[in-house]
Structure 1
Amino acid sequence: MTLWRVIVMSAALLVVVNIQQAQAARSPGDYVVISYHDIVDSSVTPDLDIYSQTITRGRLVEHFNMLEVGGYQPVSLQQIIDAKAGGTPLPEKAVLLTFDDGYRSFYDIVFPLLKLYNFPAVQAVVGSWLDVPAGGQVPYGSITLPRERFLSWEQVRALDESPLVEIASHSYDLHKGVVGNPMGNEQAAAVTSIWNARSGYESEAAYIERIRGDMARTQQRFQEQVGRSPRIMVWPYGAYSQATLNMAAEYGMEYTFSLLGAPNQLSDSMNTMNRYLIDQETSLQTIEEILSNRLWENESLRIVHVDLDYVYDPDPIQQEHNLDKLIDRIYRYGVSTVYLQAYADPDGDGVADELYFPNRHLPVRADLFNRVAWQLKKRANVKVYAWMPVLSFDLGSGYQYVTDARTGSESPDQYRRLSPFVQENRDTIREIYLDLGRMTKYDGLLFHDDAFFTDFEDANPEALAAYQEVSLPSDINAIRNNDSLMNTWTRFRTEYLTDFTLELEEAANYYRQADNKVFTTSRNLYAVTVMEPRSQRWFAQDMQNFASGYDFVAVMAMPYMEEAENPDEWLRSLAQRSLAQVSADQLVFELQAQDWRTQTSIPSEEMAQWVRILREEGIKHIGYYPDDFHQNHPDINVMRPVFSIGRRFRAIQ
């Protein structure tokens, strides 16, 4: 061991011994992936500009020493692939090191350290940056950097010859933002259909052609310069979709890394591997918590339902004022999540007449959802769920809607709903969800409360034929008169609706940007199905079925809507009965902020009391509908002390 290495290891040990070393909460066959970017040696280049993910050489040495002292084992991607295929098992506490963007510092600073420590690593390079001639400027966000700050193809070839380094693609020319909506928001090029003021949005076909073209160019340049094609595509900004993953795989790049900070299991799909982003401010204690899987995350969800109808205004200046007011409120509130309405419902009947995003089937009231969701994510730092109908789209005549067996027509007392038993309807709704995923940015889905059947629905010919296929009578009255058949019918329709929503989830997620947040789903459940189990027949809804199909079951905990005599006791009972069926981790309780019987607002003090009651009963995730940010209802000063999660965290075990 060289004297220099003894010195730096001793210095690092002084830091490491101050970290409380707990037994790693790691399991056999798991591994952690870490993401670095540029490395600078301030003693050599003190005037070099430092960017958000840049770290110093000294800090990197501290990290490498901590890996050795802590018994962590850096591995290559090939070792992970072999272990997954049943070959040599991964060592305990396996770690994969990755470096993005193709900085020259990887060759000058990192590569010698990798050889010294015998650590393997992945380096992801941007093809178009490598193709900039010597002495030129590389486009880097809103600025340019000297070409010499990045690797050359000659250096890439030298690195590729080392058994310690695997060269990955970071795209050919997708490491940039593009205009993603008429308001001018810049969004990741790989997952955004570009907006052009003259021609409008890039078509689906043009978008696919652009991404495929980038993959083809990447493959070509690697073949020309390195003599092989890359097998890893590291998407810029961690922004990819199922569609882009599929296209990259067509060109041999079947592996990628996200920026979702979580450990990986060999049993997981290797198409996308979770990865922790490291910067200069990441402390050694945080690194140790990452490596030992003892990170901290929010304990509870606090959810606000936002109607875009409250933000929309035909006057664009007023609309921007409304948006700023909403963002400021959500930021100050200290909540974690916004359920954001993606459809227009100005008459409040729960049926989508128009949408707030470009699509191929319904009018666009305003191209607003993408703008508001993006601003909420970036300025208020919350997760945004697209709140969408399942069946209640009013497409006018020419479509078949859910019908009642008693009349043979739609029920005037229920939402107007497209019959899911009609294939044309299913295809149309699926295309709406596909368009949602391609044209907007969001983190999850909330399925509206319109996915139900009464105990007289659906009586369309296609529905009756579907009942016969599962050995049920095509006569709904015959089913209703037989208790056993009624149970079978209820279960069939419940599962049918859930299966359809899972198809919609897949469609919504196909083009949707995956970034550093997990895609999660939630579905509204009527409280009466919990309080009166026989009512499951009236709605074709079942809490345990929902728990198996979605990440969260969103119980509509609205005592006045349910005409509860004692709202407080009703909420306690609902909480207790719900927790008897489903874990608190999966339950979301949605309170009402409006008494729709009297068209008056629920007092903020009463809503705050409801939150206290639910927390006392063990409900962790709580939301309410609607939020009227114009009138400050509910009053943020009353609600925030009991509703905000602030910065309270818990450790992941």
Structure 2
Amino acid sequence: MSMKKNLKWTAIRAVVMVGLLSSFAPGSAANAAATNAAAANATAMGNADVSARVADQQTYLVLCYHSIPARFNRDEGAISAPNFADQLAWLRDRGYTALSMNDVLEAKAGGKPLPKLSYLVTVDDGYEDFYLNAYPILKLYNVPAVFGLVGSWIENGPDREQSMGDPFYAQQHFVTWPQVKEMADSGLVEMASHSYDLHHGIIANPQKNTEPAAVTLQYDLEKKQYETLANRRLRVLTDLQKNSALIEKNTGKRPRIMIWPYGATDRIAAEAAAAAGMPINFTLSEGLASAKSTNSVPRTLIGGEVTLDNFSYMVQYKNSLKGGDPIRAIKINLDGIYDPDPERQNDKLGRVLNQIARLGVNTVLLQPYVTPAKDGSIEEVYFPNVYLPMRADLLNRVSWQLRSRLGVDVLMIVNTSNIAQRENGNTRHLDFSIPQDREKLFNIYSDLSLTVPSQGVIFEGARTDDQQKIFNKELLNHMHYYELPTLYYALDDNIKAEDDAEELYAGAPNNNFAGALIDAPVANSDAKQLQAFAKNLPPNKINILSFSVKDASIKELEKIADNIQYLKHQGLADFVIDGAEFLDDPSKLNILRQAISLKSNPLVTPGQ
């Protein structure tokens, strides 16, 4: 499968598309009934809720399209022109206002506020069917749009390597520069950069995974080394400057919007875009966009000839549910996957991926270091870095496979108190209060962020006083994520977990702080103890309850599953299974699957 197909329509579509109803067979009576009921329910309840939220937060929906053929051609990335027109008509009839980027920037500057219900149309890749089929519809409805151009595709046609894995892409024709000029001059379509030649994958690790070129340190298989950070910065900046100059040459206007291929960006890429004159970044993160910030604009991916029922459900109701999606997770370390033999290691990884898919979770907590020794010292890791020995370059591959194959969020476990180095035959833990150690810790996790994207960070094994929180915030700022990942703290003492959690919430180090990972009561707790535990947790916060299942028997797992069900009835929804040994036992896996799986809920799919 080509990089384009693998990234855009395997991983991202699983995460962003209208998969909420995918538990029903396409075209079945159950599917039709469910979508109609959901749309009706959204119309009755969701519209008012979304309206109030949009008014309060100056938020708007950004729709992301790609190919818009005259008739649906079975390309899973396409929406037919009649369907596209129906969607715009539906938005108009429901009171949604079409925005231009100028409208957003005016609201950001304190001018005219955005309407209560509003949306922005974006179309990626520069296909000619946009000019032939979508542009006339946009003119008919007077709907502005942002059109992302890949310079090399316009100049040279489809990329040969990508064409080999994607027959629909191989058959595409791209807009001509006169067509681009006509649309730009209309004032209805704003041209954005989609890179000159970054819309492909590059080798990202020794296992030969290909990952987005704009955000990946390229791995040289012959030299067995990664490109330098300076080389990556120059490679990306040169590409963006070339495409911006090309667009300006043919339209007279230099683009101010960067639409990142595959929606993937980080701090390094965003700095390059800003240097090329594009401070506005469009991604494929989920949720509504806010007029308060154009640094990173989330978009909702539309494709697969989505039905109007599903489209209406998504627009009116899905986003209002996003903030309430439960976290159902499993914590794994890489020791159980690592093997000196590459083939055996790959087999182990494949088996773990299949088992996690069966478990039905939407999140995986990854431990990036080798399980500590008895004294708690972390001396080896699974990612390249300057200071610590690397047992194997494995973290990137596992994280990438989890995202691209399963569509789950990956939360990275960060431990700063137990990192240790050998000095004169002795083991010494790094201490962030010592300037030299502080810089080492910054560099270790900076190196991690360069090779492994993450949707969240969990600080564990650390005290939670003010100095630690300040250090953690500085550490996050040294990492190369453009949007700071969601931050959680792990509290490993359930006796006073409630007090610790309350203190953390009160003194949250920054606005990306989401909650705490708290050890759940032991398996043999009775209902009274569970009720007291749930009652003492801070209300209206994300309290992720962690259940240790290491060496647990069938009977113990059944009790844990019962406890989870009881805690659900107490209003708790976020759970982590700590340990992966049970995955090899079908009976044990089935017990926990029934307790935490999201597959049993037809309105939520794994990865959603």
Higher helix share: 2
2:239 is matched with which residue? Answer: 214
Alignment of 1:226-241 (within 5 A): 226-241=251-266
Question: Of residues 495, 502, 521 in structure 1, which corresponds to 2:473?
Answer: 502
Contact conserved, 1:256 with 1:271, CA < 8 A, in 2?
A: yes
Q: Residue 314 of structure 1 is aligned with which of 340, 346, 349?
A: 340
Larger radius of gyration: 1
Select the residue among 544, 549, 553 that pairs with 2:505: 544
Aligned equivalents of 1:604, 1:188: Cα separation in 2: 40
Q: Of residues 476, 480, 485 in structure 2, which corresponds to 1:519?
A: 485
2:39–2:310 CA contact under 8 A, matched in 1: no
Determine helix, strand or coil for the equivalent of 1:395: strand
Q: Which moved more, 1:159-168 or 1:86-95?
A: 86-95
8 Å CA contact 2:494, 2:519 repeated in 1: no
Q: Matched residues in 1 for 2:407 and 2:243: separation?
A: 34
Which residue among 563, 567, 575 is the counterpart of 1:622? 575
Within-5 A mapping of 1:556-635? 556-557=519-520, 559=522, 570-578=529-537, 581-583=538-540, 585-594=541-550, 603-629=556-582, 631-632=584-585, 635=588
Equivalence for 1:142: 165
Q: Is the 8 A contact 2:383 2:395 kept in 1?
A: yes
- Give the distance between the partners of 2:365 and 2:39, measured in 1 at CA: 40
Deviation string, structure 1 residues 414-467 (Cα, Å, up to 9, x no partner)? xx642221122221111111111111233211212x212xxxxxxxxxxxxxxx
Alpha-carbon separation, structure 2, partners of 1:511 and 1:634: 39
User: Does the 8 A contact of 1:544 with 1:582 survive in 2?
Assistant: no
Change in Cα spacing, 1:293 to 1:616, as seen in structure 2 (3 Å) is: closer
CA distance in structure 2 between the aligned counterparts of 1:630 and 1:300, rounded to whole angstroms? 22
Worse-matched range after superposition: 328-337 or 387-396: 387-396
How many Å separate the matches in 2 of 1:155 and 1:191?
Answer: 31
Quick check: 1:262 aligned with 2:287? yes
CA change 1:610–1:333 in 2 (3 A) is same
Please name the residue that 1:389 is paired with: 415
Q: Secondary structure at the match of 1:347?
A: coil
Q: CA deviation at 1:641?
A: 1.7
Aligned counterpart, 1:426: 438
Please report how far the alpha carbon of residue 92 of structure 1 lies from its aligned counterpart in structure 2 after TM superposition. Answer: 3.8
In structure 1, what is the Cα distance between the partners aligned to 2:38 and 2:508?
43
Aligned partner (choices 126, 134, 143) of residue 110 of structure 1: 134
Contact 2:377 2:420 in 1 (8 A): yes
The match for 1:98 among 112, 115, 122 is 122
Alpha-carbon distance in 1 for matches of 2:241, 2:412: 33
Number of the residue aligned with 2:194: 170
Question: Counterparts of 2:360 and 2:108 in 1: how far apart (Å)?
Answer: 41
TM-score normalised per structure 2: 0.83
SS in 1 for 2:423: coil
- What is the distance in 2 between the residues matched to 1:501 and 1:399? 29
Structure-2 change in CA distance of 1:612 and 1:193 (3 Å): same
**Kept after mapping to 2: 8 A contact 1:123/1:166:** yes
Asked if structure 1 preserves the Cα contact closer than 8 Å seen for 2:328 and 2:598, the reply is yes
Task: Calculate the aligned-residue CA RMSD, in Å.
Answer: 3.2
State whether structure 2 residue 496 is matched by structure 1 residue 530. Answer: yes
Q: Cα deviation per residue 1:70-125 (whole Å; 9 max; x = unaligned)?
A: 22211210111112212233334221111110011111111222222211111110
Which residue, out of 260, 265, 271, partners 2:295? 271
Aligned to 1:285: 309
* Aligned residue number for residue 30 of structure 1: 59
Aligned partners of 1:17, 1:385: CA distance in 2, in Å?
34
Contact 1:233–1:256 (CA under 8 A) maintained in structure 2: yes
The correspondence for 1:156, drawn from 167, 180, 202, is 180
For 1:475, the equivalent position in structure 2 comes to none
- The 1-side partners of 2:135 and 2:412 are apart by 44
Can you list the C-alpha shifts for 1:391-412, whole angstroms capped at 9, x where unaligned?
21112238999xxxxxxxxxxx
Q: Residues 43-192 of structure 1 correspond to what in structure 2 (within 5 A)?
A: 50-132=74-156, 139-140=162-163, 142-143=165-166, 149-192=173-216
Supply the AA of the counterpart residue of 2:440: T
Deviation for aligned residue 1:363? 0.9
Contact 2:453–2:481 (CA under 8 A) maintained in structure 1: no
Describe the shift of the 1:600–1:394 C-alpha distance in structure 2 as closer, same or farther (beyond 3 A): farther
Matching residue within 595, 604, 607 for 1:642: 595
Please tell me whether the aligned partners of residues 290 and 297 of structure 2 are also in contact (alpha carbons under 8 angstroms).
Answer: no
Task: Name the residue aligned to 1:337.
Answer: 363
State the distance in 2 between where 1:634 and 1:571 align.
25
Instruction: Name the CA shift for 1:328/1:348 in 2 (closer, same or farther; >3 Å).
Output: farther
AA partner of residue 37 (structure 1): H
* 1:193 to 1:384, Cα distance in 2 relative to 1, 3 A: same
Contact 1:193 1:204 (8 Å CA) reproduced? yes
Quick one: structure 1 residues 399 and 438, their matched pair in 2 at CA, closer, same or farther if it must change by over 3 Å?
farther
Query: How many residue pairs align between the two structures?
Result: 555
Q: CA deviation at 1:364?
A: 0.7
After TM superposition, give the deviation of residue 288 of structure 1 in Å.
Answer: 2.5
Q: Deviations over 1:144-196 (max 9, x none)?
A: 75687101122111211111110100011110011111111111111111112
Structure 1 residue 128 displacement after superposition: 1.0
Residues 128 and 147 (structure 1 numbering): CA distance in 2 closer, same or farther, change over 3 Å? farther
Residue type of the partner of 2:487?
A: T
Aligned counterparts of 1:206 and 1:320: Cα–Cα separation in 2: 30
Pairwise CA distance, 1:238: 0.6
State the secondary structure of the residue aligned to 1:161.
Answer: helix
Aligned residue for 1:552, secondary structure, equals strand
After superposition, the C-alpha distances for 1:334-379 in whole angstroms (9 at most, x for unaligned) are: 1121111101126354332111011111111111111111112222
2:147 and 2:475 map into 1 onto residues whose CA distance is 37
**Contact 2:78 2:305 (8 Å CA) reproduced:** no
Paired with 1:311 and 1:262, the residues of 2 have a C-alpha distance of 33
Q: Equivalents in 2 of 1:205, 1:432: separation in Å?
A: 18
1:451 maps to 2:451:
no
Residue identity matched to 2:493:
A
Q: Give the superposition deviation at 1:253.
A: 0.5
- Preserved contact between residue 80 and residue 305 of structure 2 (Cα < 8 Å): no
DSSP-derived class of the 1:635 partner: helix
Alignment partner, residue 407 of structure 1: none
Separation in structure 1 between the aligned mates of residue 425 and residue 291 of structure 2, nearest angstrom: 47
Partner Cα distance (1:136, 1:633) in 2: 44
The correspondence of residues 396-411 of structure 1 with structure 2, limited to 5 A, is 396-397=422-423
The answer to whether 1:359 aligns with 2:312 is: no
> SS where residue 274 of structure 1 aligns?
coil
Q: Which moved more, 1:391-400 or 1:319-328?
A: 391-400
Give the secondary-structure state (helix, strand or coil) at the position aligned to 2:366. Answer: strand
Long gaps (5+) in structure 2: 1-34
Structure 2 residue identity aligned to 1:553:
A
Determine if contact 2:544/2:575 at 8 Å carries over to the other structure.
yes
Match of 2:18 in 1: none
The CA distance in 1 between the partners of 2:596 and 2:291, in whole Å, is 39
1:10-37 per-residue CA deviation (whole Å, 9 max, x = no partner) reads xxxxx99995334342232332111111
| CA displacement, residues 504-538 of structure 1 (integer Å, 9 cap, x when unaligned) | 22333x247x7xxx9322211133562695xx7xx
> CA offset at residue 558 of structure 1?
5.4
Aligned letter for 2:385? N
Structure 2 CA distance, aligned partners of 1:91 and 1:422?
52
Secondary structure, counterpart of 1:273 in structure 2: coil
Alpha-carbon distance in 2 for matches of 1:114, 1:503? 46
In structure 2, the partner of 1:477 is none
Secondary structure, aligned partner of 2:581: coil
User: Do the aligned partners of 1:33 and 1:96 also contact (CA within 8 Å) in 2?
Assistant: yes
